[in-house]
Amino acid sequence: TPETAERTAVPGVATGLAVTGAGGEVLFVEASLADPETGSTGVSLTGQLGEVMKESAQIALSYLRSHGAELELPVSDLKDRGVHVHVPAGAVPKDGPSAGVTMVTALGSLLSGRPVRAEVAMTGEVSLTGRVLPIGGVKQKLLAAQRAGASTVLLPKRNEPDLDDVPAEVREALEIHLVSDVREVLELALSPANAPRPVTLAAGA
Amino acid sequence: TPETAERTAVPGVATGLAVTGAGGEVLFVEASLADPETGSTGVSLTGQLGEVMKESAQIALSYLRSHGAELELPVSDLKDRGVHVHVPAGAVPKDGPSAGVTMVTALGSLLSGRPVRAEVAMTGEVSLTGRVLPIGGVKQKLLAAQRAGASTVLLPKRNEPDLDDVPAEVREALEIHLVSDVREVLELALSPANAPRPVTLAAGA
Amino acid sequence: TPETAERTAVPGVATGLAVTGAGGEVLFVEASLADPETGSTGVSLTGQLGEVMKESAQIALSYLRSHGAELELPVSDLKDRGVHVHVPAGAVPKDGPSAGVTMVTALGSLLSGRPVRAEVAMTGEVSLTGRVLPIGGVKQKLLAAQRAGASTVLLPKRNEPDLDDVPAEVREALEIHLVSDVREVLELALSPANAPRPVTLAAGA
Amino acid sequence: TPETAERTAVPGVATGLAVTGAGGEVLFVEASLADPETGSTGVSLTGQLGEVMKESAQIALSYLRSHGAELELPVSDLKDRGVHVHVPAGAVPKDGPSAGVTMVTALGSLLSGRPVRAEVAMTGEVSLTGRVLPIGGVKQKLLAAQRAGASTVLLPKRNEPDLDDVPAEVREALEIHLVSDVREVLELALSPANAPRPVTLAAGA
Amino acid sequence: TPETAERTAVPGVATGLAVTGAGGEVLFVEASLADPETGSTGVSLTGQLGEVMKESAQIALSYLRSHGAELELPVSDLKDRGVHVHVPAGAVPKDGPSAGVTMVTALGSLLSGRPVRAEVAMTGEVSLTGRVLPIGGVKQKLLAAQRAGASTVLLPKRNEPDLDDVPAEVREALEIHLVSDVREVLELALSPANAPRPVTLAAGA
Amino acid sequence: TPETAERTAVPGVATGLAVTGAGGEVLFVEASLADPETGSTGVSLTGQLGEVMKESAQIALSYLRSHGAELELPVSDLKDRGVHVHVPAGAVPKDGPSAGVTMVTALGSLLSGRPVRAEVAMTGEVSLTGRVLPIGGVKQKLLAAQRAGASTVLLPKRNEPDLDDVPAEVREALEIHLVSDVREVLELALSPANAPRPVTLAAGA
Ligand SMILES: [Ca+2]
Ligand SMILES: [Ca+2]
Ligand SMILES: [Ca+2]
Ligand SMILES: [Ca+2]
Ligand SMILES: [Ca+2]
Ligand SMILES: [Ca+2]
Ligand SMILES: [Ca+2]
Ligand SMILES: [Ca+2]
Ligand SMILES: [Ca+2]
Ligand SMILES: [Ca+2]
Ligand SMILES: [Ca+2]
Ligand SMILES: [Ca+2]
């Protein structure tokens, strides 16, 4: 959708899938790095995140701090630049581990300067070694992805059996990738490095 | 009004719109930077702000820390000068994300040394990438803006449908700008750089 | 009174006015700066202060950190010397924003080395830009000031209408100044720079 | 099992045994070290760990900080690299001291670059001097180990009497080692230094 | 008594007077400074102290940090040496502001290397400027002082009226000094600088 | 007993005596110092210690920080090496001041490299000046010491009257030392400096 395309037009924003009392929903994970000239360091987490979701953000950061160089990401940027991860809307409490892959993707996008593909939505817990662990609410999340106009969805491989419960027309309308390592997520979700999408200062050199 | 004009006469103060049990209301967001000679650093948030409103202030600061240089703001000032954001009155609890644009504007005014136009009031959640997200209470807020003598109001574009509920005479009395990026807010709200309004030390060199 | 004169004989102590369940009362705000040789830094707030009153102290400090140089105060003293603001009696809980002007005055007295005039009592919320905002309990506070032997009282200009409720004999016995900026408070409350009152090491060189 | 083999294929992951309301269970303790270029330091503990389990992680770290050099581990790595210990699944609360040996093993594996043997599961409290103290739930834990495909289990020597309650066929199917010092655990659990298993950057040079 | 003499034989210990449910009581305030070689800094407060009593300790320290040089105390010792104030017995909760003078005295004794006179007991709130403010329980405290073998008691001058309620034989058995400034307390309580009492390393060079 | 001998075989472990709902009990206080190469500093306290017991550990450390040099302990080791004090079992909550002497002894053993004698058990509150203050549960503690195979027990001198309640056969089986200063405890409890017991790296050079 235009909304999703606009939100993800800059590096550092990834589209996640959540389940609320009212069904599935799309949410955006936003990440930023402070200009080193501001002297800001440390990590800020906002969006009324619960304990488990804050831990997901810590895990995402630690994953990139230990595996980022392997992924050719400029991890030394994390040294002198404060990191902020925010999940709008600001007044809505959110919790759970299933935004793990979305957080790694938003941060990986920011560090690489490669925007996340507008058509990709994702869900999955991430472990500290980058494994993608299963989540709940597969059916509602796929319905929400379709409703929001996503054409590609990244799901944990260990959630494959849950696809049986998803209406065939939804499964067919979506390109569903089953992933077991967050590197696959990054490969599928990030635009190519030289794509012509606009790049903000926050993500560039 | 004279009150609003006096409050916003110095850089660092922006006029926001809030909704309380008693209807709409004008509030002032005040920002200050410590003199570097005081050795003060860090961020202080006062005014009995709730969790969500404190997060709004963190988001506003992170937005300026990552996008300030693009906006030609002297972001290195943030390095050696403690930031304080206060929302009078001091004893009244306040919460919610809708002062986001007002916080970015107060801080942008302070950094630029350009006072906020006395006739401008505003409301809107801000995301970490600077998008202006919709808020509630449009009707009460516009009535409050008019009552307080504001002639220009900045509203989230995604709140456009809510204008249908606003009395026509209010809509006509006010110049309403629908905005989707906080850069538009800064352009519309800040006085020109060379305006003859007084500039305090806190915002100057 | 002798009590007030003794308490305010040294720079760093200002006489405020408060309202308790038992009517109006005089309170003393005391401020000190650590000897730089002690290596002490940071801010201590004591006197069983509630959240709002602690925020008042933060606002008073931030006001002086950003506007102190304009006021020709040696703000660099704040860099290497820990600040302590205390409000006796130590076991009595206190709260509210109305000691704001008293806190700015105690700190301004300390930094300038100019004791506060023994005959002056004051009340008023302070904003981050130094505006004096209205407070409650005007009648009880003026009665308390008179009882304690103060001859001069500084009140927020926006509390002018409340003077109608104050007995004429009290209004006439007191010299009441209505103020709208904390700079007026400092001008009215501080003794001249070269007055012969004793100056302690904490405030001098 | 393939799951266990995949999880422990990289240094820094050890297989523990826990008891929940639903019986015994396998859990994985994951450890990572930040790339020194990220400037990250300190310790993060995630996985909804309770107080006692967080203390276990502190004990494991202190054990290695004081005894690591004796064990020929490169403890200076701990100086400039933030440590993170995580226990998936992220949303499941966990507590108790019995993951102590698993935490020492995960961290010892990470520091040595030697992956933990896929067939080894373990349980035991660790003291600050490295002694292995007894735990509860021996029977359920051995059943869980067998169910998960582990062939070797490390148990506290002081739990030897509890083996009487374990079905003979389980005891025979498993190679059970009774240990009293965590050094025995490391010797039995870590793969040889030159084994051909893949080594990630986080653990290597 | 021998107990009091032994407790106060080293610099850094002063005898205070408290009131509990069971009447008056003697308590000892102990202060220590870390050896600079330990690298320890900061302030520790122990003895199950309540909020108000912890604030008393902060006030005592700030008083000495700002007025210590006037009193010819080596305040630079506070820079590189962690301060610890403890009030045995460790398991008994204690609160209230009336140990203020005792805390200043224990710290003043420690810094000066002059032990507190064994025969002196004291009570009084201290303000940040060193004024001695009135306290409660005068009668019970004097009885306790006598019972514990103290011959000299230091009381706030503003408690003079409370002496009417004290039995004449108690008043006559004790040398009671009414004090209004903590400097008087230090003068009366500390042994002469060259007294032959033993001096520990913590207080000496 | 073999258990006690094994636990105290390394410097840094001392045997204490506690009282629980189920009678007297032996507990071990373990202390460790991080290898300076790990960059670890600060103090960790684990074992589900309550507030009073955590304060005992702070007091023990402060005692050694101010008096350690007098005792010829290498206190500068505390500067660059994080200290950890742990009291197994990890899941059992513990509280009270009576482990004070045991904590000083464990830390003194660690710093001196002298193991604690296996046959010595102890109990007593410690003050900041090293005085040994009385504790409760003398009878149960002595019974527990005997049961655990200790032949020597160190008790506060001020608990002497409580020995009347201890069965004569227990009193005779044990060598009981009544102590009033923690230096006596260290002299009685630590093995001679050149004893042939093994010394770990944590305590050696
Ligand atoms: Ca919350
Ligand atoms: Ca590829
Ligand atoms: Ca509050
Ligand atoms: Ca720049
Ligand atoms: Ca323009
Ligand atoms: Ca309180
Ligand atoms: Ca003037
Ligand atoms: Ca929790
Ligand atoms: Ca071997
Ligand atoms: Ca407590
Ligand atoms: Ca607890
Ligand atoms: Ca001897």
Span D23-60, pLDDT tens digits: 999 999 999 999 999 999 999 999 999 999 999 999 99
> Residue B149: what are its φ and ψ, rounded to 5°?
90, 10
Mean pLDDT confidence for D67-78: 95
Q: How far is the CA of C44 from the centre of ligand 6 (A)?
A: 15
Mean pLDDT confidence for D155-179: 97
Tokens of D153: 């289990």
Q: How far is E9 from chain F (nearest CA, A)?
A: 10
Give chain C as a 3 state SS string: CHHHHHHCCCCCEEEEEEEECCEEEEEEEEEEECCHHHCCCCEEEECCECHHHHHHHHHHHHHHHHHCCCCCCCCCHHHHCCEEEECCCCCCCECCCCCHHHHHHHHHHHHHCCCECCCEEECCEECCCCEEECCCCHHHHHHHHHHCCCCEEEEEHHHHHHHHHCCHHHHHHCEEEEECEHHHHHHHHECCCCCCCCCCCCCCC
Q: For D83-111, what is each residue's pLDDT tens digit?
A: 999 999 999 999 999 999 999 999 999 99
C160 close to C134: Cβ distance less than 8 angstroms: no
Taking all residues of chain F, what is their mean pLDDT, rounded to a whole number? 93
Say yes or no for a CB contact (<8 Å) between E66 and C39: no
- Rounded to whole angstroms, the maximal C-alpha distance in chain B is 52
A167 close to A142: Cβ distance less than 8 angstroms: no
Per-residue pLDDT at F195 exceeds 70: no
**Nearest Cβ partner of D34 from A51, A65, A127?**
A65
D131 close to D93: Cβ distance less than 8 angstroms: no
* All partners of chain B with 3 or more CB pairs under 8 angstroms: A, C
Q: What is the pLDDT of residue B205?
A: 36
Q: How far is the CA of A48 from the centre of ligand 1 (A)?
A: 6
Q: How far is D159 from chain A (nearest CA, A)?
A: 32
pLDDT band at F196 (very low <50, low <70, confident <90, very high): low
Q: Is D72 on the interface with F (CB under 8 A)?
A: no
Radius of gyration of chain A (CA): 16
Say yes or no for a CB contact (<8 Å) between D65 and F89: no
> Residue C70: what are its φ and ψ, rounded to 5°?
-55, -35
Q: Report which bound ligand comes closest to the CA of C47.
A: 6
Q: Is B129 on the interface with A (CB under 8 A)?
A: yes
Q: Is F156 on the interface with E (CB under 8 A)?
A: no
Q: Is F136 on the interface with E (CB under 8 A)?
A: no
Mean pLDDT confidence for F175-204: 79
Say yes or no for a CB contact (<8 Å) between E202 and F67: yes
Mean pLDDT confidence for B76-88: 95
Q: How far is F2 from chain E (nearest CA, A)?
A: 33
Q: D120 — alpha (psi -120 to 50), left (phi > 0) or beta?
A: beta
Cα→Cα distances E70→A93, C201, E66, E102, E109, Å? 55, 7, 9, 19, 15
Tokens of E142: 């004097």
Q: Is A1 on the interface with B (CB under 8 A)?
A: no
Q: Is B12 on the interface with C (CB under 8 A)?
A: yes
Q: How far is B178 from chain A (nearest CA, A)?
A: 16
**Nearest Cβ partner of C46 from E55, E78, E96?**
E55
Cα→Cα distances F151→A199, E55, F134, F155, Å? 76, 46, 21, 13
Give the best residue of D3, D15, D33, D37 to mutate against chain A (max A CB count within 10 A).
Answer: D37
Say yes or no for a CB contact (<8 Å) between C39 and E133: no
| Touching pair B, C by Cβ (3+ pairs < 8 Å) | yes
Q: Is A138 on the interface with D (CB under 8 A)?
A: no
pLDDT band at B2 (very low <50, low <70, confident <90, very high): confident
Residue of C nearest to B85 (CA): C128
**Nearest Cβ partner of A78 from D40, D84, D88?**
D40
**Nearest Cβ partner of C201 from E52, E59, E69?**
E69
Q: How far is the CA of F114 from the centre of ligand 12 (A)?
A: 15
Query: H-helix or E-strand containing E155?
Result: strand E152-156
- Residue type for E205, please? A
**Nearest Cβ partner of C202 from E55, E59, E67?**
E67
Per-residue pLDDT at D18 exceeds 90: yes
pLDDT band at A200 (very low <50, low <70, confident <90, very high): very low
Q: What is the pLDDT of residue D2?
A: 78
Query: H-helix or E-strand containing E191?
Result: none
- Residue type for F46, please? T
- Give the Cα-Cα-Cα angle C145, C147, C150 (nearest 5 degrees): 45
Give the burial string for E157-188 (b: 16+ CB within 10 Å, else e): bbbeebeeebeeebeeebebbebbbbbbbbeb
Is the ipTM higher than 0.95? The answer is no
Mean pLDDT confidence for F1-6: 83
Quote the DSSP letter at residue A101: H
Q: What is the pLDDT of residue E2?
A: 77
The helix/strand/coil state of F79 is helix
Domain boundaries of chain D, sorted by first residue: 2-189
Residues from chain E contacting residue F58 (CB–CB below 8 Å): 44, 46, 84
Q: What is the pLDDT of residue C196?
A: 55
Query: D156: closest CA among D182, D118, D119?
Result: D182
| Length reported for chain E | 205
User: Hey, which residues 48-67 in chain E have their CB within 8 Å of chain C?
Assistant: 51-52, 55-56, 58-59, 62-63, 65-67
Per-residue pLDDT at B114 exceeds 90: yes
**Helix locations, chain D, DSSP H:** 2-7, 51-67, 77-80, 100-112, 138-147, 168-173, 182-189
Say yes or no for a CB contact (<8 Å) between B84 and C52: no
Q: What is the pLDDT of residue D201?
A: 43
CA pair distance E130, B30, nearest whole angstrom? 36
Question: Tokens 């001291």 identify what position?
Answer: D97
Q: Is E157 on the interface with C (CB under 8 A)?
A: no
Tens digits of pLDDT across chain C (205 residues)? 778 889 999 999 999 999 988 899 999 999 999 999 999 999 999 999 999 999 999 999 999 999 999 999 999 999 999 999 999 999 999 999 999 999 999 999 999 999 999 999 999 999 999 999 999 999 999 999 999 999 999 999 999 999 999 999 999 999 999 999 999 999 999 999 765 554 444 433 3
Q: How far is E90 from chain F (nearest CA, A)?
A: 6
Say yes or no for a CB contact (<8 Å) between C62 and B84: yes
**Nearest Cβ partner of B62 from A28, A34, A200?**
A34
Look at the domain A2-30+40-189 and name its fold. Answer: Ribosomal Protein S5; domain 2 (3.30.230)
Q: Is B90 on the interface with C (CB under 8 A)?
A: yes
CA pair distance A146, A140, nearest whole angstrom? 10
**Nearest Cβ partner of E30 from F51, F75, F129?**
F129
Say yes or no for a CB contact (<8 Å) between F39 and D79: yes
Query: A123: closest CA among A50, A53, A43, A70?
Result: A53
CATH architecture of structural domain C2-189: 2-Layer Sandwich (3.30)
Q: How far is E82 from chain F (nearest CA, A)?
A: 8
CA pair distance A182, B200, nearest whole angstrom? 51
Q: Is F78 on the interface with E (CB under 8 A)?
A: yes
Q: What is the pLDDT of residue B4?
A: 87
Per-residue pLDDT at F24 exceeds 70: yes
Cα→Cα distances D55→A62, D29, D61, F46, F84, Å? 21, 15, 10, 6, 11
pLDDT band at B196 (very low <50, low <70, confident <90, very high): low
Question: Tokens 């050719």 identify what position?
Answer: A72
E11 close to E191: Cβ distance less than 8 angstroms: no
CB pairs under 8 A between A and B: 94
Q: How far is E95 from chain C (nearest CA, A)?
A: 9
Q: Report which bound ligand comes closest to the CA of B187.
A: 5
Q: How far is A153 from chain D (nearest CA, A)?
A: 22
Give the best residue of A37, A41, A109 to mutate against chain B (max B CB count within 10 A).
Answer: A37
Q: What is the pLDDT of residue F22?
A: 84
Name the more confident of B189 and D202.
B189
Cα→Cα distances F198→E158, F29, F33, F106, F201, Å? 64, 19, 17, 16, 10
Say yes or no for a CB contact (<8 Å) between E46 and F55: yes
Q: Report which bound ligand comes closest to the CA of B186.
A: 5
Residue of C nearest to E43 (CA): C40
pLDDT band at E204 (very low <50, low <70, confident <90, very high): very low
Strands B43-46 and B83-86: parallel
Per-residue pLDDT at F102 exceeds 60: yes
E83 close to E65: Cβ distance less than 8 angstroms: no
Residues from chain F contacting residue D71 (CB–CB below 8 Å): none
Residues from chain D contacting residue F47 (CB–CB below 8 Å): 55
Say yes or no for a CB contact (<8 Å) between D66 and F35: yes
Q: How far is the CA of F166 from the centre of ligand 5 (A)?
A: 90
